[in-house]
Amino acid sequence: MAPALTPEQASVIKSTVPVLAAYGETITTKFYHDLLAANPALKNIFNNTHQATGHQPRALAGALYAYAANIDDLGKLSPAVELICHKHASLYVKPEHYEVVGTHLLETMKSVLGEAATPEIMGAWGAAYWQLADIMIAKEAKMYDETSYWADWQDFKIARKEKEAGDITSFYLEPVDQKLKLPKFKPGQYISVNIFVEELEGGVWQARQYSLSDAPGKDYLRISVKREEGLEIGEPKSMTHPGYLSNILHDKKNEGDIVRVSHPFGDFFFEGQKEDSPVVLISAGVGLTCLTSILNTLAEEKSTRPISWIHGAHNSSSRAFKSHIDELAESNKNLNTVFFSSQPTKGEVQGQHYDVQGRLDLDKVSSEKLFVDSDKTQYFVCGPTQFMLDVEAKLKSFGVPSERVKVELFGTGGVPRI
């Protein structure tokens, strides 16, 4: 445990905010380059795509800036720290990784800033880094303790592949070790899937997070993965695309194949199933996966609370789980559904294949289905980043306070809404 940051050191950190604004990304870009060159084993943890596109350095630069700017009120960073710790836990980040990262980060800051990196500044940043690292190490240790029987990657077999839409396929994953106890995860959470990518130089393990798309309590874990069209396995430009691993799953992984899987984690989840407050589930595209887990959980528990399912897709061919949702609505009169189609194809019938033509727009959903008059309604939103932020803003304009709107940001990187 590092010594507490002194008030004087906190003041020094605050004074470096303009420096981080000007040189933050330069620092983090060099940091990652030098770190991975000196520690190639860490390539198995860091996302190759985010390195190649510069997403990871930008995200870290934003995090450093936010940390410095809020050093005297770290409570504002709690949601971001929670999100990052769940991500770290799903990748099995350990305390020794913080030691290596801290050493290289401070060395890089000193190298880039040159004479401006005075002993006073470097001492303050060393103390600040370990203050945050200790918080995260402790939080992650608690997460690992809660999953002590599943302390590392586990081998899972692809028991079944099932196409849900033109570009979305469900993978039913069963543990190879039949003694492994599957957790009662919280609906909305995700797992990391770890795959060896031989096409990357030297061969590298790469992990991606995928939301669990069914209710807990099964003898399998189900993920439903969108394939990004136009990517070619092994083609250099494709290897830097965010959807590269999804294409490996679709094209190269078949029933019977083995993938490595993490314990479920994630700070976006639904709980309180026994309550009676309304629940509104709003998604676009493949963002429906985590919300399907929530909906299936409520349906299996025969919840009578009012529920609305609002989903936007291009058309029927790209909309997953439509028949399943329709069946649930037929047998659960408390479930309302509204389907938007932005590009319905010839032959699609309004009222059958979709309800509203156009992009998802909450102004076109009745207030009765949004339950905005209730001060207990819970809203869960998942989809592309800008979609989620737009929906959140729209709900706020309806008078819904932010604490009743949960937005799934695990895949967006960076520090959300500081």
Rounded Cα distance, 80 and 225, in Å = 25
Per-residue exposure over 249-262, b if at least 16 CB sit within 10 Å of its own CB, e if not: bbeebeeeeebbbb
Which of 140, 164, 392, 408 does the annotation list as catalytic? 140
Q: How many CB atoms lie within 10 A of CB 118?
A: 12
The span from the CA of 34 to the CA of 27, in Å, is 11
Spatial contact of 217 and 184, defined as CB atoms under 8 Å apart: yes
Token pair 């028991």 in the structure block, residue: 159
Which single residue is written with the structure tokens 């609305």? Answer: 308
170: Cα separation from own chain's centroid = 18
CB 90 within 8 A of CB 262: yes
Residue from 32, 65, 92, 98 carrying the catalytic annotation:
98
SS3 per-residue string spanning 83-103 = HHHHHHHHCCCCHHHHHHHHH
**Pair type for strands 405-407 and 307-313:** unpaired
Token pair of 269, please? 């989840």
Question: What are the residue ranges of helices labelled H in 208-321?
Answer: 244-252, 288-300
- Residue 293's nearest CA partner among 270, 265, 272 is 270
Is 140 designated active site? yes
CA distances to 57, 100, 221 from 77, in Å: 19, 23, 32
Residue 149 bears catalytic tag: no
Angle at 27 (CA atoms; ends 23, 31), nearest 5 degrees: 175
Residues noted as catalytic: 98, 140
